[in-house]
Structure 1
């Protein structure tokens, strides 16, 4: 396993991060212990979860226990990490709806502090390594959110702060606020990013590179399409796992070409796709939502794959989405993004 430094923290995290969004469904609560133990054995020391993962109806699928009968993913993870918590860098987050009360959501000081305490109990730990704002909250000033995080860092309940699904301008604004008020600044940005969905390259990735934040992509295999074309034969694939749509024809075409190139290079599609993503500027670790231990073992091999420049260029050209600003050349794109480019806007 290879490792990267997370932002400016000095903390080294594995280039493959274990995602837990479907814990309790796939893997089941019983199998999750084996997956987490396997991650530790593979050298994976970075795990990603959230207060809303696992036991929400959006994760329902045939054959799995109903949402009301499932534990939160944090609770499953906390139990699986007993005796090995100190070997893992734990990231969790809040903002999603977690109850019926109107204030059981958002990034207010009230909700953040309550959810941090809840996550600490579920995870069976006294500190969280990396705590994300799961999504922007238009009802709460960013100043209030960052002040709450800074207080929690001073109390030792969280170590570092990150922003998830925030546009580049909000990440930059957060850095300005933290600098102006002498608070702890965000060290990482989490976003959907893969060979097909390249929206992060327009502004967020250059901003992270410029200001020293780590980019931590989720959905690095685009719902499994960039891992194995066998996913097309599954009853539940892609964002259908979360109640959304399946793959478009344009996305499937890219997946087939990745498969063809991988075979020509003697590599599996998931190795090609993850190695490409891990080569991108500012990317520290890719969150892999492996549903079985075998999937996790296979995906972990990508951390040791180093593609040649020509191979990287071939992959980049498959679903090219020009950046809004080329920070290296100091100029904008030569052409606007085309509506026919095979890039997901989900």
Structure 2
């Protein structure tokens, strides 16, 4: 496994990050624990989760227990890491809806402190290595959120912070605020949906992160499995269907077919090609994969050892049109778990 330093944090993380969005659904809790153990044994030390992952209705699917009967992904992860906490760099998040109260969401001091305490309890740990603002919160000034993060860092509950699904202007604003107020909560990472199929982040966020030494941590790097194996098209549930969204449009399938053609020509598995391309992009530190089995984990993890040559990288880059301008949420924020919940 290859490792890299995350932003300016000085902390080294594996170039493949284990995602837990659907823990408790697919994989079920027992397989999830096996996946966590296998990931650590394979050298993966970076695990991504969130306070809303796993046990919300949006994750419901046939064959899995309903949301009210499922544990949260954080709870499953905490149990799986018993006795191995020091081996792992844990990232979690808040801003999703966690209850029926009007303040059970957002990035206010009240909600952030409560959710950090809840995450620490569920994860069975004393600290969180990386804490993301899951989405922008239009009701809370960014300075307020960064100040509470700073307080939690000084208390030893957080080690570093990041921004998830935030546009480049917000990343730059956060860095400016942290510098101006002498806060220790300047973001070191930006989590965003990013793959060969979805390259929106390259227009604004990518150049900003490269300029300011903020690591990009892509989720859905295999676009819901479409860039892992075309057999995903035969599954009952795949891609964004796992979160109640439509299936793959024809244009995305056509692009994936071209990736598959090139991978076969080069004698490489499709997911290795897609992940290796992404890991070669500027500012990208680690790609979040969401395997549903130990076998899928091993297939994804092997991509960290693949180096494509310049001609191969150029051929893959040429498959997609220039990405449109970055689009981000506004208004009242997410009414269900954000797309940050969507992983490979």
Q: TM-score range by the shorter chain?
A: over 0.9
Which residue in 1 is equivalent to 2:99?
A: 99
Q: Does structure 1 retain, via aligned residues, the 8 Å contact 2:200–2:325?
A: no
Structure 1 segments unaligned to the other structure (5+ residues): 326-346
Structure-1 separation of matches of 2:228 and 2:33: 24
Is 1:164 matched up with 2:169? Answer: no
Shift in Å at residue 321 of structure 1? 1.5
Is 1:243 matched up with 2:222? Answer: no
- Compute the TM-score of the two structures, normalised by the length of structure 2: 0.93
Structure-2 separation of matches of 1:323 and 1:212: 23
Q: Does structure 2 retain, via aligned residues, the 8 Å contact 1:201–1:323?
A: no
- Compute the TM-score of the two structures, normalised by the length of structure 1: 0.93
Structure-1 separation of matches of 2:323 and 2:260: 23
Which residue in 1 is equivalent to 2:73?
A: 73
Counterparts of residues 286-325 of structure 1 (less than 5 Å): 286-321=287-322
Deviation string, structure 1 residues 134-153 (Cα, Å, up to 9, x no partner):
00000000010000000000
Q: Does structure 2 retain, via aligned residues, the 8 Å contact 1:271–1:301?
A: yes
Which residue in 2 is equivalent to 1:207?
A: 208
Structure-1 separation of matches of 2:123 and 2:47: 12
SS at match of 1:295: helix
Is 1:271 matched up with 2:272? Answer: yes
SS at match of 2:52: coil
- Report the count of equivalent residues: 325
Is 1:110 matched up with 2:110? Answer: yes
Structure-2 separation of matches of 1:321 and 1:237: 26
SS at match of 1:227: coil
Q: Does structure 2 retain, via aligned residues, the 8 Å contact 1:127–1:156?
A: yes
Structure-2 separation of matches of 1:322 and 1:173: 23
Shift in Å at residue 324 of structure 1? 6.6
Structure 2 segments unaligned to the other structure (5+ residues): 327-344
Q: Which moved more, 1:316-325 or 1:22-31?
A: 316-325
Deviation string, structure 1 residues 13-61 (Cα, Å, up to 9, x no partner):
0000000000001111111111000000110000000000000011111
SS at match of 2:163: strand
Structure-2 separation of matches of 1:320 and 1:43: 35
Which residue in 1 is equivalent to 2:286?
A: 285
Which residue in 2 is equivalent to 1:179?
A: 179
Shift in Å at residue 310 of structure 1? 0.4
